[in-house]
Amino acid sequence: MKKFLEKLEKEADKKYVTYILAAVAFFESIVFPIPVDILTFGLAAVHPKKWIKFGTVSTVWSVLGAVFGYILGAYLFDSFGQQMIDFYGYQEQFNQVIKLFNKNTFLVIFTAAFTPIPFKVFTIAGGALRVAFLPFVIASILGRGLRFFLGVYLAKKFGKKITSHIMKKINIYSIALVVIVSLYIIIF
Residues 6+ apart with CB under 8 A from 158: none
Res 98: pLDDT: 80
Res 164: pLDDT: 62
Burial of 109 (0-12, 13-18, 19+ CB in 10 A): buried
Q: DSSP assignment, residue 47?
A: -
Q: DSSP assignment, residue 90?
A: -
Res 162: pLDDT: 64
Burial of 65 (0-12, 13-18, 19+ CB in 10 A): buried
Residue segments in the chain with a per-residue pLDDT below the cut of 70? 1-10, 12, 116, 160-171, 173-175, 177-178, 180-188
Give the Cα separation of 93 and 100 in Å (integer): 10
Res 145: pLDDT: 94
So where are the chain's domains?
Answer: 2-187
Give the Cα separation of 65 and 62 in Å (integer): 5
Please give the radius of gyration of the chain, using alpha carbons only, rounded to the nearest integer: 16
- Our measurement of the distance from residue 144's CA atom to the centroid of its chain's CA atoms, rounded to an integer in Å, reads 5
